[in-house]
Structure 1
Amino acid sequence: MSPYKILLADDEEALRFLLTETLADEGYDITEAADGKEAVERLNDERFDLIILDYMMPEQTGVEVCEWLRSQDNPNREAPVILLTAKALDKDRERAREAGVTQYIVKPFSPLQLIDTVIELIEQRSN
């Protein structure tokens, strides 16, 4: 079986590196994007099993990318989306839910928490 493909979009290079290493160690195939615009380009070009978006990114926020994802015809329209964010306010969660975000993880978080969430969402999807 080929590894599950994950798109990881975050403008923080150090965090992206850490999460890519952590997820790759678990056997996932990671594609990185440094901002919202790059994330949209990648989402248009190839299919992913899961998408991880940072809320605050240049070009487009994670929520804007998710809104685009859910409303446009693209190969990832139904893919689960994890939103990473330092914004823990209810109105931010509500906005994320309305945009179609599947799961919301508040920074700081442990990479293990992220892996648990990734496994859970990918297993739900493949059942």
Structure 2
Amino acid sequence: MRRILIVDDSPVVLAQLSHDLADDYEIVTAGSGEEAIEILEVLIRGNVCFSNLFDLIITDLKLPGMTGFELAEYVRKKNKFNRYTPVILLTTEKISTDEARKHGCVAHFSKSDKQRLVSMVRMLMSL
């Protein structure tokens, strides 16, 4: 089963997205960017030997500590096992596609646009 890491500091958002995607994918959640990095590092230290620990990462832009942009950059630059994993950014703010891509995100969605997000997840996971 394909695996998705969802990162958001809102337990409600984590629960809703997990519920919407759990029938088709294995879901792992984190409440901050630091917790997400810890999950990635623990898996790597545990000698997980496949190139993509996650098939997709969905992260909120506004997180306590590090931002979703910083997490996406970490995935791209510092974590050789996940550098090609697509990252989708969730936000309540207006950002440009160019800004999202500059930080390594393949797409960005408003948190209120759940239907488009789920459609994009299904499309990316079918590749």
Q: Determine the structure 1 residue equivalent to 2:73.
A: 67
The equivalences for 1:102-121 within 5 A come to 102-110=106-114, 112-121=115-124
**Unaligned residue ranges in structure 1 (runs of 5+):** none
Q: Determine the structure 2 residue equivalent to 1:52.
A: 58
**Per-residue deviation at 1:87?**
1.4
**Unaligned residue ranges in structure 2 (runs of 5+):** 44-52
Q: Determine the structure 2 residue equivalent to 1:95.
A: 99
Q: TM-score, normalised by structure 2?
A: 0.85
The equivalences for 1:9-20 within 5 A come to 9-20=7-18
Q: TM-score, normalised by structure 1?
A: 0.85
Q: Which runs of 4+ in 1 moved over 3 A?
A: none
How many residue pairs match? The answer is: 118
Percent identity, aligned pairs only, is: 36
Decide whether the 8 Å contact of 1:20 with 1:30 is kept in 2: yes
Aligned partner of 1:43: which letter? L
Equivalent position to 2:5, from 4, 7, 10:
7
Matches of 1:98 and 1:22, distance apart in 2 = 28
Question: Which of the pair is proportionally richer in helix?
Answer: 1
Query: How well do the aligned residues superpose, as a CA RMSD in angstroms?
Result: 1.4
Matches of 1:89 and 1:6, distance apart in 2 = 23
